[in-house]
Chain A
């Protein structure tokens, strides 16, 4: 059974701080990882994906992948109240994605 684990939170950070969201996965063979953001009552929207070890940056977002330790993280710099949402980590398994349960992020102004 492929598993993706996330701390459910909530993770509370002040406005302007760096929010760090973490995810671990059980299948050492997992190759690709996706971060989705989901606002309350809305559907998940893709923020970033990462396939290679190391960091990938896109604006205020940085995804970090460490395959040896089997974790992937998402850093949000200069956090804004509009970043308050649930963040879902997912990894590919065949043609499917396996999702974590998500971490609730609250950015306080």
Chain B
């Protein structure tokens, strides 16, 4: 079974802090993704990576950056956290082959005070 592990289930930070969300997968997947999910807005893609040190912006990259130094690990960074970044953050991974599903971690519920 694919295992995608996010470092924290719940996290509370203060406005202006630099926040790191970590994600590790154990299936040797090339593709990794970061989403945020808000009520009524569904899943929105922040960034994704299709290889080590490669990254591409998703639909809502503003205020975020990412790091992929190792294949199994994909980090999301909030450079200066703001209250509108309070959300559920979901990491996913997938094989690069066509028609492959994404597998999600348990999510991190982040609150910015």
Say if A and B assemble together: yes
Evaluate whether A42 and B107 lie within 8 angstroms (CB atoms) in the complex, with A95-B48, A95-B50, A101-B41 already known: yes
Does chain B have a CB within 8 A of A96? yes
Evaluate whether A49 and B101 lie within 8 angstroms (CB atoms) in the complex, with A42-B107, A43-B107, A100-B42 already known: yes
Does chain B have a CB within 8 A of A55? no
Min CB distance, A7 to chain B, in Å? 13
Question: Residues of B contacting A44 with CB < 8 Å?
Answer: 43, 90, 104
Does chain B have a CB within 8 A of A88? yes
How many of chain A's residues have a CB under 8 angstroms from any CB in B?
Answer: 21
Contact sample, A vs B, 21 pairs, CB 8 Å cutoff = A8-B40, A31-B98, A42-B107, A43-B105, A43-B106, A43-B107, A44-B90, A46-B101, A49-B99, A88-B43, A92-B99, A95-B48, A95-B50, A95-B94, A95-B96, A96-B33, A96-B45, A97-B101, A101-B41, A101-B42, A102-B42
